[in-house]
Structure formats: structure tokens, C-alpha cells
Amino acid sequence: MQKIYNDIIKERIYLKKLANGLTVMLMPRANYNKFYGIFATDYGSIDNKFVNPETNEVVKVPDGIAHFLEHKLFESEEGDVFSKFARLGASANAFTNYNMTAYLFTTSSNFTEATMSLLDFVQDPYFTDENVEKEKGIIAQEIRMYDDEANYQVYANLLNGLYHHHPVKIDIAGTVESISKISKEDLYLCYNTFYNPGNMILFLTGDFNPVEILEKIEENQYRKELVNYNNIKRIYPEEPASIREKVIVNKMDVSEPLFRLGIKEKNLPEKGKELLKQELGTGLLLDLLIGKSSILYQDLYDQGLIDDYFSNYYVLEKGYGYVIMGGKTRDPELLYKKLLDGFKIGGRTLKKEDFNRAYKRVLGEYVQSFNSFEAVATEFISYYFKDISFFDILDIIEEIDLDYLNKRYVELFQENNYVRSVIEKI
Amino acid sequence: MKEMETFQYYQTDNELDLYICKNKKFKTNLIQMIILCQLNEEDASSNALIPFILYRGSKNYPSSRAFKIELEELYGAELSVSVWKRGEIQLLNFSLEIVNEKYLPTDELLLEKGLALLKDLLLNPLFTEEFFQQEKEFIIKEIKSIINDKYSYSLNRCFQEMCAGEPFSIYKLGRIEDHEKLSRDQVFQQYQEVIKNNRILFFVIGDVDEKRVYEKINNSFNFRHQVVKDYNNTIIINDVKGIKELEERLNVQQGKIVLGFRTGITRKDDLYYPLLMYNGILGAFPHSKLFQNVREKESLAYYASSSLESTKGLLLITAGIDFANYDKTRDIILKELEKMRQGDFTEEEFQWTMKSLINSFESTADNNRGLLAHYLLGVINHKTETIKDSIDELGKVKKEDIIRVGEKLQLDTIYFLNKKVTE
């Protein structure tokens, strides 16, 4: 078992890749009552086209299937999985995003049993025609709920404007129509392709003995006969560097217009440290240009164009990336114009003192994130899927300087990369 | 079980209430200052404006930007202001979370610098006409924007209709028409008043030296302050005259049904822990009756759950459903309530709920804001309890007590958010 200690955070992580391919990460935390476990697969909503490992044929599966599968794994032959956790005093949950699907529990007792239950239910699918049908009504209501969430819609529309073909433009849950076509055979195909141990990580954190729990995990894993497809082939469409649509406007029952500005990333590092450096550097650049302590932010606030909820962030994944910023505003077009002007001025005069301050903020927020088991676990897993250790962030950030930010500014802040999405009042 | 977190109580020379929870597990120090106000029509709007105007500028930090620059210098300390409503109490919050310098390459005393900033914000505000006008505009927009989130909107509308005529129906940020009438001087006067006479709580959670924190706050927040105002006059209503059923239409894709109940039980009552069990068996967890019957058996909803307002004594049930399934969903919910009233739940349901609640209490102790929220509810309801006290109380609940809760519970209002009829 590999041990890595971080002397800033003063925490240690234990890593082991088991013989069956499963990656196990353990982070003991003294003084905590709570245990948290998360079991994740490198499989999200964008993985909708791939090679069937048994037949070698290319298959395209219905939109929303990764999320549908997440719901259905909570069904077992003996009944629903929630009650198994409730019996232990644990609570279970799951989520699906564009890039991964994760199953998790929190508990303050019966930690070992809860960990075994997590491994067992995810590794024992039970799909029937009847239980698949039953889920369609439930997920249809989940989709309808998002249909009414204006802040989600303005974001979904933006992605649709940024991308021509990339599946990140498709809603994670799919549509009521696309999920109606899902069958138990489709679910087994996706399950068998992506839920093999070599494609998965188990992350546990809480006050436990790592050697003892690892023993139990190995015992559990080696008891099972799990098939491992070492070579998962995902197929993504060719995505042009250009944006698809400049402006997308929709109408809903809202109090005032909602606005998002998106910038499409053309520079897409494969994986690893380059990717992390670009992610951190671009985040710092955004801070300098439109962060809460920027002159532009204060100006827009004083003009009543943005409120305190205006926010920005940068996403960089394998194969796609974008900047997104926005909030509600009285005048989307004026805000757009002022942002553009502001970037031009700000981008020309990136200052060292602002950079140093933004760096301090990133450092502080990084330390603070270790207060949350959920945040730490999710970060470690999603970075691991990109071949990065979350502990490496502090080293990589040292490599970033103002020149790098200037270079990033020139690459990214070009008007032909911009898309704006607006929800107007009906 | 591990030793559970406790708060030590201190009172400063000028009657500020200070609660310190010394704790090694957190990598940050959280300081939250709360001004308690009685929720009423006259003051709600001007009270709500105060924290936002204060955060616009002070003597040493003359703009929001100046505050934000200093916060970033303090390694991204987070200062946020907000207004809450618990029962008929309005709470003005100033929350500051700072990384413990133990985990940073610096020797700066970050907590002390943070306290100095907080003091300047609270006691040396610029309170200009311009800040007032701008924040008034923002707060009016904020009140209007409840409609952007249909889930919160539907809950809020149910509360509003259910408690019409009671202070509880006032939104936490006040009323638009009252904001429009306010002047800068009125709000400034209100600020001086609440700072001088209202109960003010300080919570500090983190790996701190208690004595030093006490002395620091006692010495630097030494403004003229004496508590003369009571803050909790929440009216608890037990009996309901007829069920209100109402419907509202908007441009939506999903219907939302909300049922509002009077429990008559608040945090300080003997039946509070039985009520927690009641709510747990009925609808707080995935094993609960609502999730199992509305979602799993009938596929009617993605979410179907119940929750409590424990200072006013209310219980709320909510589900997002297809418009056509209103009657069916309501009937299933009412059937499950009838089962609860008759004590028709199994030993398993009882045990699972008990364990789930204990898990949730123990997990709360691992989260600084959760810990604060738990203790705060005790303080404002005049029954302070540690997490351990709560777990002990919960362990004493018997099936008969839960049935007694069911007998007290009264349905008051059924609200339905429906779609607009297209002509």
C-alpha cells in the first residue's frame, strides 16, 4: 500500500490498486464521528457511444442511460438497497455527472458493514423489465423538475450553444422521450462495459485503521468473479473548435432575465499535469478579471447590472472545456457589452499584486476544502480519473506565473469563442 | 461513541452572548455573529437591509471591494451576510470563516485580523445614501426572484397562505411595498437601535484558545449594548378551523403539491423528539412511508418528503408530480398520515428511523455550520442542548409518544402549483 503525506494539510492518503484492477484510496481522519465512502466509475453521461466489448461492434445508447443505470442499481433481488443501509444506521445516495457515476454512504456506526454493502450492491446488478418500466415515471418527474429550474435551463442552453456535437451538450438525465426507449438489455450492456473494477475507485474517509479495512475490502473483492475489460473504447464525435450558436434566448416565469456567458476552450490537454496547470491558471485569470475583488466586478455591481450571486468558474475535462459566468441582471445585452469592454481593459493590465492575492485565496480554499469529506473524496476521484493527484495541486500552482496568465488570456478571451444564454421573463 | 462537541458560554461585559466550541477537527475557524429581532411588519424590511448595507463599506474598508481585497489577503476568508427566519424571529447573520494558520505557510494571526474586520463592518459603517438606495433595489429584486426557484416558491406560498395574518407569513427579507417607503435615515436609526438593544450572539467554532477569543471579543466589541428587547414571541397555533385547499397557475412543466400541518410542538416541548421520530418514519428518509409509497410503489414523483419548522411548530409535506396526478397523490399522502395516526408502523420502521436520526446528529457534529445551526435552535427556543443531549433524548422515545404526535397533528393547508391553461 502506497502512503502519501501532505505536510501543509497534515493528512495522509493510502493507495492501492488491487489484483482485480480496483483502485482503493483511504484517508483516515482523526476526531471525526462520521465515515464516508464513495464507489465511483469512470463513466458519465458523455460516454454514450462505445465499442461493445463482447461483439466488438460500435453501439450508441439512449441519452440519459448512465443516470438511469445509477437509479436502477439501488434495486436488488431482495428488495431496495436503501433499507439495507437504514438497517445499519447508514444513509446511501448516488449521483451521475457528465464524466462519472458515484455511489456513496455516510454513517457514524457499522462502517465495515456499510463499506461491504456499498461494494456488494454496486457489483450486483438486478434489472428486470418490470423494475426498468417503473423507474421511467420517477425519472420523468426528475426531468420535469429540472425543466422548471431556470438556473439549470440557462446553463443547459449555454452548453448547447457552445457545442455542435459533443455529448456534453445533452442533459445528463436525457429526455422523457429518450429514457422511454431504455431496456434492461441496454442497462446490462453499459453496466458490463463500464462497471468493471479496473474502471472504478473506492474512496473511504473517517476515523478508521486503513490496514484493517483494506483487508476486508480485498477479502470481499477476491471472493467475487468480476470480469475486467482492460480496454474500454469510448467514441466521441469530432467537435469543431468554433461555437455552435452565438446567442440563445428562452422565456420562463422568472423575475428578471438570467444571463450566462460561456467561452469555449480550444486548447485541450489530454490528461495529467498539463491539464491541471491549465485548470488552475485559468481559474486564477478569471479571478483577476472578474473575481469578487476585481474592479470590473465592483463597477458592474455599482451599475446594478450584477448582484452578489454573480459567479464564474472554469471547467476542463478530457475532451472539452469552457468558462462560464453569470447571474441575474436587469439588462443582459448591456451586461454583455460591459463584460467585453472590461475584459479588454483587464486583460491588458494583469497585475502582480492581484495575482499574489488570488494565489493566497486558492491556497486558503484548498485547505478549507478538507473540512468536507464529500468535497475531498469527489476531488480525489475526479482528478484521479484525469491522472492527477489532488495532493499535487500545491506543487502545480507554483509553476504558474503572470506570463502564463497573459498567454491564457490571449488564447481564451476571443470574441468568436463567446456564447451567451439568456432566459427572459415571459 | 466519541466525545461530543460542547459549547462553552461566556457573557461579555456589555451583554453579548458568546458560545465557543473548541475543536481540533476543523481546518478553519468559524465566527458567526447573529442579531436577533422579533419578526414583525413594522421592522422586517428595514432589519433585513442592515447587513447588506453594512457590507458595502466601513471606515477602514470604504467599499465592498476593499472588504473583498482584505478577505483575499487573509487567505480567502469567507465573509457572508444573510437574513434567516426561525419561527417568528428574524436573524441577521454575519458569518466569517478563516483558515487556521496552522495549515498555512504564514505566522499571521488570521483570526484576530478577521475579528478586526468584522468589528469595523459592524461598528464603523459608512451607511451612505447611495449604498442604501442600491441595496434597497437589490433586496426588492431578491424578493421578487423567489419565483425563479419553483420548489422554494411553492413551500413559501404554502407557509404564506397557511399563516396569513400571523407574523410568520412575512418573508425573511420583508415586503416590497415597505421597502419602497423606507428612507436611509429610518434604516440607520433601526441599525442603531438593534445594535444597542437587541440580543446579539457570537458563535466561534474551531481549534482556538477559548480564553483569548473571549478576551479579544470582550475588549474589542465593547460598544454600548444592553439587551432590552425580547425576540421570541412566536405564536403557536394548535387548532385549525377547516382545511384550506388552493391552487395557483404558472408556466411550469411539473406540478408541486405542498401540505402544511400544525404540530403545536416546538423545540422546547416534551413531544419534540417524538415529533422528530414521527417525521422520520413519515417522510425524512428513503425508507420512509412517503418515499416508499409515493415514489417507489406508484412512480408518481422523484421527490416526496416531509420536514419540520421546529420554532413555529409546523410540518410540511411536498412532492413534485404530473399535473394529472394531484388527487391520486394527495389521497396516498393522506392515507399514510392516517396510518401514522393509528400507529400503523413496524418495529423495523421505528428502528431504522432511530438509527438514521442518530447518524444524522453525529454527522452534524462533524460540520461546523451544522453544529452551529443545531445549537442556535436550542438557544433561541430557550433549551440549549448538545448533540449528545439530543441523541439521549431521542433514545427515550416510545411508540406511544409518536402516536400522541399523530393525534396532535392537524392539516391546515393544501397548496398546488399547477400549469397555466393554454387558450
pLDDT in tens, B335-344: 999 999 999 9
CATH superfamily, domain A247-425, is Metalloenzyme, LuxS/M16 peptidase-like (3.30.830.10)
Would you give the DSSP letter of residue B74?
A: T
Strand A320-328 to strand A258-264: parallel, antiparallel, or no bridges (unpaired)? antiparallel
The ranges of chain B annotated as CATH 3.30.830.10 are 8-220, 244-419
Report which residue type is found at B128: T
Nine-digit cell at B376? 442556535
Tell me how far apart the alpha carbons of residues B296 and A85 are, in angstroms, rounded to a whole number.
17
List the one residue out of B48, B38, B41, B42 whose CA is nearest residue B136.
Answer: B48
Question: Which residues of chain A are under the pLDDT cut of 50?
Answer: none
Report which residue type is found at B109: L
Domain ranges of chain A: 2-223, 247-425
Q: The pTM is what?
A: 0.96
Q: Is A364 in Cβ contact with B366 (below 8 Å)?
A: no
Chain B: nearest CA to A373, how far in angstroms?
10
The residue count of chain B comes to 423
Helix (H, G, I), strand (E, B) or coil at B374: helix
Nine-digit cell at A388? 492527477
Tens-digit pLDDT profile for residues B353-366 = 999 999 999 999 99
User: Which residue in chain B is spatially nearest to A135 when comparing CA positions?
Assistant: B299
Q: Which residue has the cell 488552475?
A: A280
What pLDDT is attached to residue A110?
97
Nine-digit cell at B84? 434567516
| φ, ψ of residue B200 in degrees (nearest 5) | -125, 125
List the one residue out of A294, A332, A299, A330 whose CA is nearest residue A312.
Answer: A294
Check A11, A54, A57, A70 and give the catalytic one. Answer: A70
User: Which residue in chain B is spatially nearest to A107 when comparing CA positions?
Assistant: B359
Residues of chain A in contact with residue B352, where contact means CB-CB under 8 angstroms, are 83, 86-87
Q: Quote the distance between the C-alpha of residue B120 and its chain's center.
A: 26
Report which residue type is found at B407: E
Least confident piece of the model among A305-314, A317-326, B226-235, B240-249:
B226-235
Transcribe B144-173 into DSSP letters.
HGGGGSHHHHHHHHHHHHHTTTSGGGS-TT
Q: Nearest CB to A256: which of B68, B141, B151?
A: B141
Transcribe A147-212 into DSSP letters.
HT-HHHHHHHHHHHHH-SS-GGGS-TT--HHHHHT--HHHHHHHHHHH-SGGGEEEEEEES--HHH
Tell me how far apart the alpha carbons of residues A170 and A143 are, in angstroms, rounded to a whole number.
13
Specify whether A70 is catalytic.
yes
Dihedral angle, C-alpha A163, A166, A167, A171, nearest 10 °: -10
Q: Which residue has the cell 455529448?
A: A167
* CATH fit for domain B244-419, picks 3.40.50.300, 3.30.830.10, 3.40.190.80, 1.10.1060.10: 3.30.830.10
List the one residue out of A249, A240, A84, A45 whose CA is nearest residue A162.
Answer: A240
Q: Which helix (H) or strand (E) holds A403?
A: helix A402-412
Looking at residues B70-82, what average pLDDT do you find?
A: 97
Residue B2 predicted with pLDDT over 80: no
Better-predicted residue by pLDDT, B369 or B423? B369
* CATH fit for domain B8-220, picks 3.30.830.10, 1.25.40.10, 3.40.50.280, 3.10.420.10: 3.30.830.10
Q: Is B366 in Cβ contact with A33 (below 8 Å)?
A: yes
Nine-digit cell at A44? 458519465
Tens-digit pLDDT profile for residues B182-224 = 999 999 999 999 999 999 999 999 999 999 999 999 999 999 9
Best of B70, B254, B329 to mutate (most A CBs within 10 Å, chain A): B254
What pLDDT is attached to residue B423?
58
* Per-residue pLDDT band at B228 (split at 50, 70, 90): confident
Residue B34 predicted with pLDDT over 70: yes
A2-223 — its CATH code? 3.30.830.10
What pLDDT is attached to residue B345?
98
The 3-state secondary structure of A266-292, one letter per residue: CCCCCCHHHHHHHHHHHHHHHHHHHCC
Residues of chain B in contact with residue A290, where contact means CB-CB under 8 angstroms, are none
ipTM surpasses 0.90: yes
What pLDDT is attached to residue A268?
96
Q: Is A149 in Cβ contact with B149 (below 8 Å)?
A: yes
Q: Nearest CB to A82: which of B99, B105, B287?
A: B287
Nine-digit cell at A263? 467561452
Q: Is A254 in Cβ contact with B145 (below 8 Å)?
A: yes
Determine contact, residues A139/A67, Cβ cutoff 8 Å: yes
Nine-digit cell at A368? 478549507
Looking at residues B81-95, what average pLDDT do you find?
A: 98
Q: Is A368 in Cβ contact with B63 (below 8 Å)?
A: no
Residue B1 predicted with pLDDT over 60: no
